[in-house]
Structure 1
Amino acid sequence: MTCLIVDDNDLSRLTLRQLALQTGRLQVTGECKDAMEAHRNITANPPNLVLLDIEMPGMTGIDLLKILPKQTLAILTTSQKQYAVEAFDLNVVDYLIKPVSLPRLMQAVEKVRDILLRNDTEVTSAADDYLFIRDNNMLKKLRLEEILWIEAMGDYVKIRTETQWHIVHSTLKAIEEKINSGRLMRVHRSYIISLDKIDSIEDGVVNILNTPIPVAESYRSKLIQKIKLL
């Protein structure tokens, strides 16, 4: 997969380039020091993936995302957690906290690969403890206890388990209507999470497997009621 690195820090760009090459999945086709340079690069030669820093002089990575085509796949890199809610509102693929580790980057890159290879998978039926998803001509059973979170992305939904992603042609609302389980809860217009899998909650974000997931203000009181708060 072709990859563009955007970061105003020389050392950060070098580190990301080295990590990208180590994944065995990415071909770094360019590096940019600021958002305007990146915008020109992406417009002229769209990469499969943009590794994008948030805090840059002039235009931030968040500002850049707002003017890029919606189909642009971006993994945000930052030393700050506070941008997570705004970032996920823009449907980024993943949000990595610096210093970025190779295992964490590889996990994010696999999400990109799954999206690029997605097919006509869809949810066909659901019960109290499982879903059936149609993958081409096969029906696959997916237990709700395996699900970490479900994430909307355009016309598709990504179902994250501990071992893999399932890319489903559906809407989050349609899946929410089929699921009848106290195990899963919608916490944002783009996310349904498994309450059992939450590691921590802070600053309007839940963390599952070191991944920050935004909680919208309208869902926060309901979430607090659902968890076992001492």
Structure 2
Amino acid sequence: MTISCIIIEDEPLAAEKLESFVARIPFLKLKGSFDNALEGLQFLKTQTVDLLFLDIQMEKITGIQLLENLSSKPYVVITSAYSDYALKGYELSVFDYLLKPYSFERFQMAVNRVSDDLKQKAGVKNENNSSQIFIKTEYRRENVHLDDILYIEGMQGYLKIYLSDKRILTKQSMKAILKTLPQDQFIQVHKSYIVALSKIESIERNHIKISGKLIPVGDFYKMQFYERIENI
């Protein structure tokens, strides 16, 4: 499972250290490194990542203020030279707290905990080793095999999940369901669409064909989508 992450750290040496640590973990994919919280906040309001490495004491706005302004949070690992913010961090659902100077081993421990938690949330293995997730519908939680998902369409206030044999409606957000889907199997290609990479039949003129349905690739998602396609 690939874990996407960003760094928000205003100290150049600390940011460089974090970037080098991230590069040593094969399943981490760094999507950006920001030297101020405002730029990081703007990024997080338009893009989804699994994990945020966040400093606390920064100019303009602090790491705590950034977390208070996020409606949907990724996993957050605080990296700070001060232990004073630990309690406030945990009140804001921070996953781990790395006190500077921290070792690579301590960093790796935090990342492995995130990975384990993500895998647990992504689904369980059945007897045929086929991954599953539980989708909350209006009346029940439905067990869905990931292999059966063709694509997901965002509607007003809910999602429509297209399976090989039926459709399911859920009130989850796009960001929320992305966190439960394996990133090596699914990708968001438009503000209203998530697709299963293995179900793509063809790509032409920025449209994806899946089971006869033409799905647009949004301008904002083009670069990331075509990079993924080239690496398959």
What TM-score, normalized by structure 1, do the two folds share? Answer: 0.51
Distance 1:106 1:36, change over 3 A: same
Matched residues, number: 125
For 1:23, what is the secondary structure of its paired residue? Answer: coil
Selected match of 1:51 from 36, 50, 53: 53
For the residues of structure 2 that align with 1:22 and 1:55, how far apart are their CA atoms?
A: 26
Q: Cα deviations across residues 109-149 of structure 1 (Å, max 9, x unaligned)? A: 1121122212499xxxxxxxxxxxxx7779xxxxxxxxxxx
Task: Return the letter of the residue paired with 1:41.
Answer: F
Task: Return the letter of the residue paired with 2:84.
Answer: Q
RMSD of Structure 2 on Structure 1 (CA): 2.0
Task: Return the letter of the residue paired with 2:36.
Answer: D
Q: What are the ranges of 5 or more consecutive residues in structure 1 without an aligned counterpart? A: 122-134, 139-230
For 1:47, what is the secondary structure of its paired residue? Answer: coil
Task: Return the letter of the residue paired with 2:62.
Answer: T
Selected match of 1:16 from 12, 15, 18: 18
For the residues of structure 2 that align with 1:38 and 1:101, how far apart are their CA atoms?
A: 24
For the residues of structure 2 that align with 1:33 and 1:79, how far apart are their CA atoms?
A: 16
1:96 corresponds to: 98
Q: Cα deviations across residues 164-222 of structure 1 (Å, max 9, x unaligned)? A: xxxxxxxxxxxxxxxxxxxxxxxxxxxxxxxxxxxxxxxxxxxxxxxxxxxxxxxxxxx
Runs of 4 or more above 4 Å deviation: 135-138
- Structure 1 segment 179-218 matched on structure 2, within 5 A: none
Q: For the Cα contact (< 8 Å) 2:4–2:29, is it kept in 1? A: yes
For 1:116, what is the secondary structure of its paired residue? Answer: helix
For the residues of structure 1 that align with 2:7 and 2:106, how far apart are their CA atoms?
A: 16
Verify: 1:64 aligned to 2:70, yes or no. Answer: no
- Structure 1 segment 66-215 matched on structure 2, within 5 A: 66-119=68-121
Q: What are the ranges of 5 or more consecutive residues in structure 2 without an aligned counterpart? A: 128-232
2:38 corresponds to: 36
Q: For the Cα contact (< 8 Å) 1:25–1:109, is it kept in 2? A: no
- Sequence identity (%): 30
Q: For the Cα contact (< 8 Å) 2:76–2:96, is it kept in 1? A: yes
Q: For the Cα contact (< 8 Å) 2:67–2:73, is it kept in 1? A: no
Task: Return the letter of the residue paired with 1:112.
Answer: V
For 1:118, what is the secondary structure of its paired residue? Answer: helix
Q: Cα deviations across residues 78-131 of structure 1 (Å, max 9, x unaligned)? A: 00111111001111110000112111111111121122212499xxxxxxxxxx
Q: For the Cα contact (< 8 Å) 2:54–2:63, is it kept in 1? A: yes
Comparing 21-30 with 82-91, greater Cα deviation is found at: 21-30
Shift of 1:28: 1.1
What TM-score, normalized by structure 2, do the two folds share? Answer: 0.50
Distance 1:23 1:40, change over 3 A: same
Task: Return the letter of the residue paired with 1:30.
Answer: G
Q: Which has the larger radius of gyration?
A: 2
For the residues of structure 2 that align with 1:115 and 1:40, how far apart are their CA atoms?
A: 26
For the residues of structure 1 that align with 2:84 and 2:103, how far apart are their CA atoms?
A: 20
Distance 1:57 1:120, change over 3 A: closer
